[in-house]
């Protein structure tokens, strides 16, 4: 089932990215520098990774507002366990374990108790952020114990000229693309988003499908957080604050339909790239950073307007 309609959206976004990059390299000398490109790609890798999970959630017709806070909690817990002298494997397991529990809670409430995804994950946004404050006691953690160098290299290092998180994003995006096309679960994800009731009638375990995407979304947030603390070299409980907006914007700009039933891996990555590019361009053009929120928020609304126009012309045609 090669969807010809999903391809154009991510393609359009990629073309927009290319066009914007072209214009920027003409008007701003530092833009095309290796350092800046490296920075942009690394910055959107953290967001893109989480946007992959978000895309799966949105494809079921849901939304996960808690990803930013889950990043904060996972990052703090990983940092604390590292700081207490434990090896990275254990710390990462603890951080991902917290993410897993957050996702499990979201997914169980949305899937099995059929609560509104918006409200459940909005609640989790607050709960996870608060837990991050509680366990960190509002302190910055910058001592990562004996495995510090490994952590810093993992998130902050580079390989063949690309930042490690970018490599991970590439691999994850390819896996996600294959998953969307070839896995039974992903087919069910799209089916749930298309017509939940008929999918249930067809014998698909709808609640379990939903549970799985929320867990995936949280786990990817956890992975992203662990990479991010390695890049930052420290973690505060503000890690990931406000990221839910950028993550959701990436998914939506990339073609995930908030009504459910549509979404793809490359779209999410392209969307994340576009948002980071816009942010970076604004900085280089000397626009007051206070304006960034307006542009990121505005881009979600524009993406939805474009989607409306596309949909309108489709039904007319």
Q: Nearest approach, Cβ of 13 to other proteins (angstroms)?
A: 20
Smaller CB separation from other proteins, 57 or 296: 57
SS3 235: strand
Q: Nearest approach, Cβ of 202 to other proteins (angstroms)?
A: 4
CA 25 to CA 31: how far, in whole Å?
A: 5
| Residue 112 φ then ψ, to 5° | -85, -35
**Cα angle: 276, vertex 282, 283; to 5 degrees:** 90
Contact footprint for other proteins (CB under 8 A): 1-3, 5, 181-184, 187-188, 190-191, 193-195, 197-204, 261-262
Long-range contact pairs involving 177-182 (C-beta distance under 8 Å, separation at least 24): 177/264, 177/265, 177/266, 179/265, 180/263, 180/264, 180/265
HSE of 243 in the Cβ direction (CA atoms, 13 Å)? Answer: 29
Q: Nearest approach, Cβ of 2 to other proteins (angstroms)?
A: 8
Q: Nearest approach, Cβ of 126 to other proteins (angstroms)?
A: 33
Smaller CB separation from other proteins, 14 or 206: 206
Smaller CB separation from other proteins, 56 or 94: 56
Q: Nearest approach, Cβ of 82 to other proteins (angstroms)?
A: 34
Q: Nearest approach, Cβ of 148 to other proteins (angstroms)?
A: 37
SS3 242: coil
Smaller CB separation from other proteins, 262 or 276: 262
Smaller CB separation from other proteins, 298 or 312: 312
Smaller CB separation from other proteins, 176 or 278: 176
* Sign of the torsion formed by the C-alpha atoms of 182, 184, 185 and 189: positive
HSE of 147 in the Cβ direction (CA atoms, 13 Å)? Answer: 22
For residue 116, the 8-state DSSP code is -
């Amino acid at each position: 089932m090669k969807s010809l309609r999903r391809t154009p959206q991510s393609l359009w976004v990629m073309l927009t990215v290319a066009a914007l990059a072209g214009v920027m390299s003409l008007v701003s000398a530092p833009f095309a520098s290796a350092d800046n490109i490296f920075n942009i790609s690394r910055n959107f890798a953290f967001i893109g990774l989480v946007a992959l999970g978000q895309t799966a959630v949105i494809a079921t017709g849901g939304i996960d507002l808690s990803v930013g806070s889950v990043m904060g909690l996972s990052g703090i817990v990983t940092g604390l366990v590292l700081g207490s002298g434990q090896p990275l494997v254990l710390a990462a397991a603890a951080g991902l374990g917290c993410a897993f529990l957050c996702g499990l809670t979201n997914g169980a409430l949305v899937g099995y108790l059929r609560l509104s995804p918006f409200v459940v994950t909005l609640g989790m946004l607050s709960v996870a952020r608060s837990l991050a404050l509680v366990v960190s006691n509002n302190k910055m953690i910058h001592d990562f114990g004996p495995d510090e160098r490994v952590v810093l290299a993992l998130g902050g290092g580079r390989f063949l000229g690309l930042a490690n998180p970018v490599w991970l994003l590439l691999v994850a995006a390819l896996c996600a693309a294959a998953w969307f096309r070839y896995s039974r679960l992903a087919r069910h994800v799209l089916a749930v988003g298309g017509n939940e009731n008929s999918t249930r009638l067809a014998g698909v375990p709808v609640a379990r499908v939903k549970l799985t995407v929320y867990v995936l979304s949280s786990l990817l947030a956890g992975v992203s957080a662990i990479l991010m603390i390695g890049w930052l070299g420290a973690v505060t409980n503000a890690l990931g604050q406000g990221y839910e907006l950028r993550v959701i914007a990436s998914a939506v700009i990339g073609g995930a339909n908030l009504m459910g039933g549509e979404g793809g891996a490359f779209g999410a990555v392209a969307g994340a790239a576009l948002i980071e590019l816009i942010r970076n361009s604004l900085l280089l053009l000397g626009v007051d950073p206070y304006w960034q929120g307006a542009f990121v928020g505005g881009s979600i609304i524009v993406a939805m307007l474009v989607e409306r126009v596309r949909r309108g012309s489709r039904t007319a045609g």
